[in-house]
Chains A and B, each alone.
Chain A
Amino acid sequence: MSAILLLREKRFEVRHGMTIRSAMLALDLEPTAYLPTRDKELLTDDEILRENDEIRLIAIISGGAAVSSEAR
């Protein structure tokens, strides 16, 4: 009686019936930093999790090598 959120190799079991956004917040995942997908389809985070749903979260943050901030 649950849904699954997948993030890289991690697997989180959450209650179905809540929104993806609520589930991410409950897991302390920043909703603005992930794209939720189901079966390679992009979803908005107000989507209600259905029983046995498998939602893959794509982490979007990149960076590290400073290029823009420094003198050219």
Chain B
Amino acid sequence: MECRKCGGRASINMRQHKLPLCRDHFIEWIPAQTQRAIESYNMFQFQDRVLVAVSGGKDSLALWDVLTGLGYRADGLYIDLGIESSEYSKQSRARTETFASSNGLTLITVRAADELGVGVPAAAALTRRGRGKSCSVCGLTKRYVMNQVALKNGYDILVTGHNLDDEAATLFGNTLNWQVGYLQRQWPALEARPGFVRKAKPFCRLYERETAAYAFLRSIDYIYQECPYAIGAKSIYHKDILNRMERDRPGAKLSFYLSFLRAKAWMRFAEAQARLEFSACPVCGAPTSADGLCSFCRLKERVHERIGVSERTHSYD
């Protein structure tokens, strides 16, 4: 197969665009598409201070690579979740630190254990929220820490490496259950609100195989192994279903996601978000829709009760 641009040997064929590209043209295409998404959804400007949430995986490291290559002022945030199984956190942290140091980039590291008293898997095991499955506690911890670190360090925007497969799988899951609140909030960029930093997903229109191919072709050393707690996760099940649709109908995932974004302009989702009222958490001050402590401080308090810690502090203060 030949590269559409130069006629050389294609390294990847993007069936949904009917676009085969060689290595060099693909490596140019990814940043160009990312910049288009940044502009299309008004994500951020070159003068903004950008915080990239990096996990050591292909998407986040590729995103950091693309943004710095485009000329954005982007620092990284790594959250050490304390996943000891298969040395997952150790390996992912090492790759993130190596990427940052070899590219001369600034990396902020926060240990979940400094916040919770124990790592995420242990916290999940200690609480009902975890119920033996760490993903919910992991998601809550990441969202909380990312937001707090971005706000406290004065970043204009927090960006994550979510790709189109992530977004389509999320949309699929939320549609199956008609989660109107989540459907209403799903968008490539979320405005800042009191207590919440602005957020964006610059890779939201790129397929996961494209971000993986970019990381491979750029020789980015990312953690290849899957999070040991992701086995059996619903998001992966949904991705698998969508990939089967994509095989038979190239562009199915792209169409599903982009038509959703277009439809949002006129579909009347319940105004769930508008009705939510936030107040400040009495412990950490973060906005919360709950009465009393925010979800993270409730989780933390529960974990601390179990492990016998009494003081309420934040490691990143």
Contact = CB atoms under 8 A, between A and B. Distances in A.
24 contacts: A30-B240, A30-B244, A32-B209, A32-B247, A37-B216, A46-B1, A46-B13, A58-B212, A58-B216, A60-B208, A62-B226, A63-B233, A63-B235, A64-B227, A65-B135, A65-B229, A66-B170, A68-B160, A69-B170, A69-B186, A69-B235, A70-B140, A70-B143, A72-B143
Interface residues of B, number: 59
A14 B113 CA distance: 47
A71 B182 contact: yes
B294 to A, nearest CB: 11
Contact of B208 (A31, A43, A62): A62
A27 interface: no
Contact of A65 (B20, B58, B138): B138
Nearest to B234: A66
Nearest to B208: A60
A29 B111 CA distance: 37
A65 to B, nearest CB: 4
A61 interface: yes
Nearest to B289: A71
Contacts of A66: 135-136, 139, 170, 235
Nearest 8 pairs of A and B residues by beta carbon: A64-B230, A60-B212, A64-B233, A65-B138, A42-B11, A69-B170, A63-B235, A66-B139
A66 B129 CA distance: 14
Please tell me the size bucket of the interface on A.
Answer: 20 to 34
B297 interface: no
Interface in B190-217: 190, 196, 199, 201, 208-209, 212-213, 216-217
B190 A70 contact: no
Interface string B75-93: 0000000000000000000
B236 interface: yes
Contacts of A61: 165, 208, 226, 236, 239-240, 243
Interface of B: 1, 10-13, 20, 23, 57-59, 134-136, 138-140, 142-143, 147, 160, 162, 165-167, 169-170, 173-174, 179, 181-182, 185-186, 190, 196, 199, 201, 208-209, 212-213, 216-217, 224, 226-227, 229-231, 233, 235-236, 239-240, 243-244, 246-247, 289
A20 to B, nearest CB: 11
A33 interface: yes
Contacts, number: 123
Contacts of B247: 30-32
A63 B216 contact: no
B248 to A, nearest CB: 10
Given A42-B23, A72-B190, A67 B212 contact: no
Contacts of A2: none
Contacts of A67: 139, 142-143, 160, 162
Nearest to A69: B170
A52 interface: no
Contacts of A37: 216
Contact of A44 (B1, B134, B143, B174): B1
Nearest to B237: A63
A71 to B, nearest CB: 7
B59 A62 contact: yes
Contacts of B138: 64-65
A31 B181 CA distance: 34
A29 to B, nearest CB: 11
